[in-house]
Chain A
Amino acid sequence: MLHFAQIFSYGLISGALYGLVALGLSLVFGVMNYLIVAHGALIMMAAYITFWAFVYLKIDPFLFIVIVTPAFFVIGWILFKILFQSLMSFSEGEKIKNSLLISFGLLLVFSNMATLFWTADERAISTAYTGKVFDLFGVRLPYIGLGGVALAIIVIIALHLFLTRTYFGKAIRAVSLDHEAATLMGINVNRVCLVAFSLGFALAGIPGILTALHAFNPTVSFELTNKALIVLILAGFGSIKGVLIGGFLLGAIEAVGVYVMGTPYREVFGLILFVLFLMFRPQGLAGKKA
């Protein structure tokens, strides 16, 4: 039983990371129907930058959020202007298809670039608190993991409040519902999309830091994109609130999978669930039938 509790709590800790990973992807998809599969590669880039900052400048990863998030906001801004703005006028299906293909190219470019720059070796940041655990009735909870869970909950709630309570957040939600109606209400749709897209990129910075605290290499970009897509389908495409629950759910299911079948099949459980959801409930857990 203790063994199961241990595996399960690790599952929930990774689940928090999965939720954070899917957050930016979900926001961008919800607002403008862009499926940015390069999201995992962005997170990997953020992880490498965090790694460098720690090794060369001795900046604590959790403090580095303040730098890496705005930096990725700017990167998102630039990439939107160069690559993604021209897709704005397409129909919904074409938008998804073209953004999927372009970001797929980006995913390959980024992960190969990372292999060239940083080689395929495993890297990890070892801070003073790496490996320290908190003992809860015999279940060992690493402090980094607990920090990750707290971070995920804070960020997702903050984004939710931003979208529901602030003027600009409401504009973003209006655009996600209907571009034309939003234009008629006097919302600058182009500007809102630009900011939402950049925000999606900025949200890749935070899981990047958590990734850097564990062992990672360039292939992590595919893994994380894959997790993000699974969470997205569990939560329902474009749902922000569902992302946290979807992430925890995926983590929990993987944990059960590990307990039943052993570690090598960890990924398979999530993937099978993913395919089943795609086929029978593509609107996600909470979504209404289209």
Chain B
Amino acid sequence: MKRIILFVLLFACLASVPFFTTREYIYSLIILVCLYTILSHSWNLLGGFTGQISLGHSTFFGMGALVFRYVWLKGLPPYLALGVGALSSLVLACLIGFPSFKLKGHYFSIGTLALSMIALITIQNIFPGVSFVPQEYLKTYSLLPIYYMAIIAAAVTIGVIYALTRSKLGLALISVREDEDAAEAIGVNTFRHKVISMSLSTLIAGMGGGVFSYYVASYYYYVPFNLDYSFDPVLITFIGGPGTVIGPVIGSICFVLLKELFAISLGQMNVLIFGIVFILTILFLPEGLVGLMKKLRKTKKVQAVESA
């Protein structure tokens, strides 16, 4: 209960930020954090909770962006378009995602990687151009509606994941991660749960794509299909803490801040640093930063007990 109150308070704070400042830089930082939170939580649901390490989330992210942009320019209100984009990702997942569950373990990872590469190349060839927004829209362009959409979408995502950790479904997903055979033996339909996890995950990824497409005014159509959007959430989630609610949020904040810090340097310095931290995390901190905080808290408690 305490956590829910804290979460609602935080959301209210974020929602009231525009009353205190009009600096667009702050808005875009928060939008970026929300965007990466959505994307990495979508990955976290499949990779962190269900243990299916996908290297192809950019496919669903890109699909959401593509369809959002199309229906939004056709005149649909943005929030409806967001839903349509998310649903289109789910449809794509039905076509190509679910069959990939025939693959287990590392076969799934490299199979999804191949799928995302196919998607990237195909989009590059079919839509080689830049996606523009109309001139009239640019005249009244403001970050505020985008800002609200981003924080609402992120809040919905975190809410869904939080509800999931409290539910039987979440437990079933974790059992699939820990041991598929054992889960099957105690009566968890592993295939069905993987499909549920993938559906939710792709819905969230598609929503993230929609937010991206709403935020970035003009971009090459293939940009949201870039493999970076498959790889970044893996780094963010593992560093933050896979299988936790707060982990990907912490990871996203660090990621965006590092990105800003090295914005002028050539190459992606933040990915370089995150890559090194990622390797260290896998080796020494399988539970990520969240696990580290837990450990520190425990040792503090032990020290307090000892000194008492």
Interface residues of A (CB under 8 A from B): 35, 37, 83, 86, 93, 96-98, 100-102, 104-106, 108-109, 112-113, 115-116, 119-120, 222, 226, 229-230, 233, 264-265, 267-268, 271-272, 274-275, 278-279, 282
Contacts and interface: CB of A to CB of B under 8 A. Distances in A.
A86 B283 contact: yes
Nearest to A119: B266
Interface of B: 53, 55, 99-100, 102-103, 105-107, 109-111, 113-115, 117-118, 121-122, 124-125, 227, 231, 234-235, 238, 265-269, 271-272, 274-276, 278-279, 282-283
A115 B113 contact: no
7 tightest Cβ-Cβ pairs between the two chains A and B: A115-B267, A109-B275, A108-B275, A105-B279, A112-B272, A105-B278, A116-B267
A101 B266 contact: no
Nearest to A87: B283
Contacts of A119: 266
Contacts of B121: 264-265, 267-268, 271
Nearest to A218: B267
A101 B53 CA distance: 9
A226 B55 CA distance: 12
Given A101-B238, A105-B279, A271-B114, A113 B106 contact: no
A113 B266 CA distance: 10
Contact of A115 (B111, B117, B268): B268
7 contacts: A101-B53, A115-B268, A116-B272, A264-B124, A265-B125, A267-B121, A282-B103
Contacts of A97: 53, 105-106
Contact of A271 (B99, B117, B272, B279): B117
Given A100-B106, A104-B234, A112 B275 contact: yes
A98 B282 contact: yes
A267 B275 contact: no
Nearest to B120: A267
A275 B115 contact: yes
A228 to B, nearest CB: 10
A35 B272 contact: no
Contacts of A37: 110
A105 B103 contact: no
B117 A105 contact: no
A275 B279 contact: no
A119 B267 CA distance: 8
Nearest to A94: B105
B269 A105 contact: no
Contacts of B100: 275, 279
A38 to B, nearest CB: 10
Nearest to A226: B117
A102 B282 contact: yes
Contact of B114 (A98, A102, A105, A274): A274
A271 B110 CA distance: 11
Nearest to A113: B272
Contact of A35 (B106, B234, B265, B276): B106
Given A229-B114, A271-B121, 6 more contacts: A86-B283, A105-B278, A108-B235, A112-B267, A119-B266, A274-B111
Indicate the member of B55, B105, B124 with the most A CB atoms within 10 Å.
B105
Indicate the member of B125, B278, B282 with the most A CB atoms within 10 Å.
B282
A51 to B, nearest CB: 18
A101 B113 CA distance: 13
B103 A279 contact: yes
A100 B55 CA distance: 11
Given A108-B231, A264-B125, A229 B272 contact: no
